[in-house]
Amino acid sequence: MMPRVWMNWLLSDEALAPLSELAEVITDGDPDKFSGSTVVVPTFEPVDGAFMDRVGPQLNLLAKPGIGLDNIDIPAASERGILVCHTPDAVTESTAEHTVGLLLAVAKRIVAGDMQLRGADVPRSGLLGTEVRGKTLGVVGYGRIGRRVAEICSLAFQMPVLVYDPYIDPNQSTPDGITFTDDMDTIFAQGDFVTIHTPLTAETHHLVVERHFRLMKRGSYLINASRGPVIDEGALIKVLQEGHLAGAGLDVFDPEPPEAENPLLSMPNVVVTPHIAASTETCHSAIFNSLVAQIGQVLRGERPTSLANPEAWPGRVEE
């Protein structure tokens, strides 16, 4: 009997072609076809040990589209010998560009201006924006996306960039205009714009709290396209309402989607998007090409390219 790949993603026959001779592929997300799968491609639902056990002992791989793994209990997967892979390289450019788009949109009052022309009661005084050239950008998290955002802003806008990431070598060479600091407080105290690029883990939950917002210069901006719970959203709302920050650009929230009465949705100095930083045709194509390739690797007994829990290898692949 062929192994089963279960997913709740409607991919084209062309995209799935590399798997056609290796597995039965279920793309309708029918939970009645869930049990007994060898590979599960989850969306955003919590994937804990109980979830894995419901799938059954045939489960070899959890293949997550995108970069975020915060909804998957990786220790539980490793304990069961279940591999977890994702597609971190695929989302870099799209997410970085979206981050820069949020930065410019909030600084230039683009959304507020659009709202005014469409009849919203936005005073002309609320359309006075900020020129970004020469302003300091603080980057929290210098992974793939953080590095690309730093590069774009440094080269295109001549913004001095200050980076904090405790997991990188601060002595490594960096492009001109980019400087490391080992003190996260310095990022918030010196940045005219601060952008967050960390994964959501137990260590990064509410990594950014009210104290950090109070360190920021009056009239500065916060950008977050990582995960909503990395920041204390209530504290952000408070400092925005007080006028301490000039604005914020947000692609993520806590909870997500945000509740209809969330004050962030009614603030003209806040630009919000519904977690779409990676939503481009190029990005989606790269995500699913990578995902299909890695599923094929595991079905052939090979190590997947972007294995998130190497401690589980080879896991059930050899059973």
In the residue annotation, 133 being an active-site residue is answered as no
Q: State both tokens at 228.
A: 């909503």
Angle formed at CA 157 by CA 152 and CA 169, multiple of 5 degrees:
45
pLDDT at 169: 82
CATH number at residue 176: 3.40.50.720
Residues 159 and 201 in one domain: yes
Q: Is beta strand 178-180 parallel, antiparallel or unpaired with respect to 193-196? A: unpaired
pLDDT at 280: 95
Question: In Å, what is the CA distance from 304 to each residue of 15, 56, 128, 199, 296?
Answer: 18, 21, 50, 21, 8
In the residue annotation, 227 being an active-site residue is answered as yes
Residues 21 and 126 in one domain: no
pLDDT at 175: 81
Residues 107 and 255 in one domain: yes
Q: How far apart are CA 142 and CA 271, in angstroms?
A: 23
0.75 cut: is pTM over it?
yes
Residues 36 and 154 in one domain: no
Residues 30 and 147 in one domain: no
> Could you list the residue range(s) of the whole structural domain that residue 43 is in?
4-89+281-318
Catalytic residue among 80, 206, 256, 316: 256
The stretches in the chain having pLDDT less than 50 are: 318-319
Q: How far apart are CA 145 and CA 166, in angstroms?
A: 16
Residues 170 and 152 in one domain: yes
Residues 100 and 189 in one domain: yes
pLDDT at 235: 98
Residue 10 CB contacts under 8 Å (≥ 6 apart), including other chains: 27, 28
pLDDT at 302: 95
Residues 97 and 171 in one domain: yes
pLDDT at 319: 47
Catalytic residue among 86, 109, 148, 227: 227
Q: How far apart are CA 34 and CA 7, in angstroms?
A: 9
Residues 154 and 173 in one domain: yes
Question: In Å, what is the CA distance from 298 to each residue of 39, 183, 288?
Answer: 9, 41, 15
Catalytic residue among 80, 275, 303, 316: 275
Residues 155 and 294 in one domain: no
Per-residue pLDDT tens digits for 10-35: 777 888 888 988 999 998 888 888 89
Beta bridge partners of residue 57, listed in sequence order = none
Domain count of the fold of the chain? 2
Q: How far apart are CA 45 and CA 240, in angstroms?
A: 31
In the residue annotation, 275 being an active-site residue is answered as yes
